[in-house]
Structure 1
């Protein structure tokens, strides 16, 4: 009798449990689908309860662990709590091990592994773990490419592969060559479009997620902003039932010049204890209200600062709070108070926070009228911004200034498609602005773009080459 056989007999006699060696299946059961819908609506606790039930009633279903990873992803991506990150990171490998016990002949075998790895790569970027994140992206890419070769008709493979392909062009060529990542915006767009059609036709459980990815690729990689925004109404993605859709739709509404609509979307978003707290929505709500010069804007910025546990947008929130006090309340003392907080709190990992920090370090008080014009411009209220500057033209035309007045007027006229007038003010900006400020450089760039769009390539090239 061999030792292994003896152990088996002893186990049976003692009634001890024997670890099952049966392969797990990948089944999108009703309970798992319900959990996915809850989780992607940020009702994480409810989704977790359903997955816990599935772990008992569907103990051989590896899909449970793939869907469960969304909980950690949304928790960490939205709340950015570093202590939670350190605690939850171990779940990555545990879930991958569960997936690897599944049926290797299923198209979901490599797909689920790749998706989990890619989700954690995104989280690692949030916490500035760039090298580890890059390694994860490469690992996910190789798994997805292998899965595409093995299962060419498995269209859902494009869900993440399309993102990697679309973003590949933004990566330096030497990095792409080193890592062997191939792709382009055109390839990624074609892949996600194919998947959208498939998901609509089959009413895929991933349909909303796929459409959200499609909108992202159209908006940021193809500069087709209007097409991206229209998707939310075309496919009836309801922001009143899902905070994530409210986030995406309001952001794109604002970035397409629909600031009032962005505010309305955020006001209609669902709330309650069943949803994961999403304080970033309070931040952008306060910011969008600032752009409209609403007096209550600062209360939402304060709510974000007081509750958010992450590291991003803290400095920008203090900056915007300082702006509220300066241009709405005319309170210079509070402006200085919040700009000091801007220099002390938060990180400098993203452009918005770096710009806010640099402004705070300068210890300069912006001209309230010009800052108000800038804020109105950022909200897409171009006519109001133009009227404000026109009312104060004499004040700035007859005084020595750093060129900001001319720059602000040029940007506003540019946005209003008054190209000839915009070019005049861009020219004045280049000639009169303070060389230490960014106005002349930005004016030259924007003037060059106007000439380029008019196919006056000789003039645009001349301006680009003369940029300070």
Structure 2
């Protein structure tokens, strides 16, 4: 009897030892993580389930499941899925709180879930919840850094949060700083760039794709320096050849840096197959860059996006771009049909959709200016300049078009390093348009400020930044004003 009791106790002890809560980022979990960053989410789910069967108390599986939901929602932007999946957050946090407290992943994994949902909540315009969750993540990461200073993954997320808090718009910084939302974009970028170099040589090398993903978005959305294009593309190319996320990043970065032909190449050559998650935004991007080049099949990709998206963003803009596609071809009936859809379909979450609605409610664009604008967006500057070379403001009937004519020339000269010509045309745009609701004059003043800042002429830069701020009741007012205030801060005014 004693022997049987002893064997039973030994068995229970053995079972308890092997089934207790733990964090094991083993090879199976690393394969699931890699599948997530390839956007092969079904493969990732299968690997996670396999790990849960073999090691039911491995807390890493909870974190990986959250990654799956995070990328699923980023790709789909489906509001119903967002409402359904966000209910899982609190249960996942509660389960992680019962895991191994001695592991560096204990606080880190909780912070990751708060951070990912904070980013998603911002995307779906739940800004207060977003700020609170990112703040919780920041505190958890800070505590974890004190306990495990050598745990490199911590810096991945803390660096991102440093950038997020550092990029809070100028008009909100006074309020948010009282709640402890303080960051520094440059420090955050430096942290992430150091990780991009050091991580591959460590046991945490599998996190390199996530660091590259963060750096790509930060450089494109916040830094806005086209001279960094090759550097950003190096980050994107560090993701594997089988990664659909890599193709998206390459296409998006190229689009935002006026490398239109490269964007088309990357987006057309993306990996395909049923094992990849549906990602309608890829067709939206491809439709845009093909329209910039005036390709005859740009409409196909814009229509594909509209037929397959279940998301909340870019629907109005896609209809506007389809309207412009047919307008350029003289098909006024289809132009009018799609313009009506801009008003009746889609949402107004994203600034692109808000601007699409403004344009749809305005007079049709001037055909020459529309072509010049599309060529400009694609980086075909010589083609755009050729269209405007023999034009004068009096060639355009509408005040809107007279202002845009000067503004567009200013932008083209600015991008081709003809600063004096750029300033001359920007100033004309200000003179003609400073009392209108169009953004051209205010953005022209901001652009002249940037030129003088680069010349280190702080007094003139400040003068034009202040002009940009002084203009009110126009499109993109908050965005332009915040950029001008940031400019004044940079030059010490």
- The answer to whether the Cα contact below 8 Å between 1:305 and 1:314 also exists between their aligned partners in 2 is yes
- The answer to whether the Cα contact below 8 Å between 2:314 and 2:353 also exists between their aligned partners in 1 is yes
Q: CA deviation at 1:400?
A: 4.7
State the number of aligned residues: 448
Match of 1:91 in 2: 88
Match of 1:212 in 2: 213
Match of 2:282 in 1: 281
3-state secondary structure, aligned to 2:188: helix
Q: CA deviation at 1:96?
A: 2.0
TM-score by length of 1: 0.89
CA offsets 1:85-106 (integer angstroms, 9 cap, x no match)? 2322232222223322221011
CA offsets 1:271-306 (integer angstroms, 9 cap, x no match)? 111110000010011001101111100110011111
Change (3 A) 1:116 1:228: farther
Q: CA deviation at 1:381?
A: 0.7
> Are residues 1:165 and 2:166 paired?
no
Q: CA deviation at 1:210?
A: 1.3
Out of 405-414 and 317-326, give the one that drifted further. 405-414
Q: CA deviation at 1:332?
A: 1.9
TM-score by length of 2: 0.85
Distance 1:348 1:235 in 2: 30
Change (3 A) 1:372 1:224: closer
Structure 2 residue runs without a partner (length 5+): 9-14, 472-493
Change (3 A) 1:325 1:401: same
Match of 1:314 in 2: 315
RMSD (Å) for aligned C-alpha atoms: 2.4
3-state secondary structure, aligned to 1:417: coil
3-state secondary structure, aligned to 2:24: coil
Distance 1:360 1:62 in 2: 50
Match of 1:413 in 2: 413
- The answer to whether the Cα contact below 8 Å between 2:213 and 2:236 also exists between their aligned partners in 1 is no
Match of 1:177 in 2: 177
- The answer to whether the Cα contact below 8 Å between 1:239 and 1:269 also exists between their aligned partners in 2 is no
Q: 1:171-320, aligned counterparts within 5 Å?
A: 171=168, 172-202=172-202, 204-227=205-228, 229-233=230-234, 236-238=237-239, 240-320=241-321
> Are residues 1:376 and 2:390 paired?
no
Q: 1:389-408, aligned counterparts within 5 Å?
A: 389-390=388-389, 392-393=390-391, 396-398=393-395, 400-402=397-399, 403=402, 404-408=404-408
3-state secondary structure, aligned to 1:422: helix
Distance 2:77 2:462 in 1: 44
Structure 1 residue runs without a partner (length 5+): 1-8, 13-18
Match of 2:480 in 1: none
Distance 1:309 1:320 in 2: 19
Match of 1:103 in 2: 100
- The answer to whether the Cα contact below 8 Å between 2:163 and 2:189 also exists between their aligned partners in 1 is yes
Distance 1:227 1:417 in 2: 16
Distance 2:253 2:129 in 1: 30
Change (3 A) 1:199 1:406: same
Change (3 A) 1:292 1:231: same
- The answer to whether the Cα contact below 8 Å between 1:23 and 1:101 also exists between their aligned partners in 2 is no
Q: CA deviation at 1:264?
A: 0.5
Change (3 A) 1:234 1:89: closer
3-state secondary structure, aligned to 2:361: helix
CA offsets 1:191-220 (integer angstroms, 9 cap, x no match)? 213322321212611111112223333444
Match of 1:56 in 2: 53
Match of 2:123 in 1: 126
Out of 402-411 and 107-116, give the one that drifted further. 402-411
- The answer to whether the Cα contact below 8 Å between 1:92 and 1:116 also exists between their aligned partners in 2 is yes
- The answer to whether the Cα contact below 8 Å between 2:212 and 2:235 also exists between their aligned partners in 1 is no
Match of 2:482 in 1: none
Change (3 A) 1:372 1:78: same
> Are residues 1:32 and 2:29 paired?
yes
Q: CA deviation at 1:119?
A: 1.0
Distance 1:373 1:235 in 2: 30
Q: CA deviation at 1:262?
A: 0.9
- The answer to whether the Cα contact below 8 Å between 1:315 and 1:343 also exists between their aligned partners in 2 is yes
Distance 2:126 2:16 in 1: 37
Q: CA deviation at 1:49?
A: 1.1
Change (3 A) 1:263 1:343: same
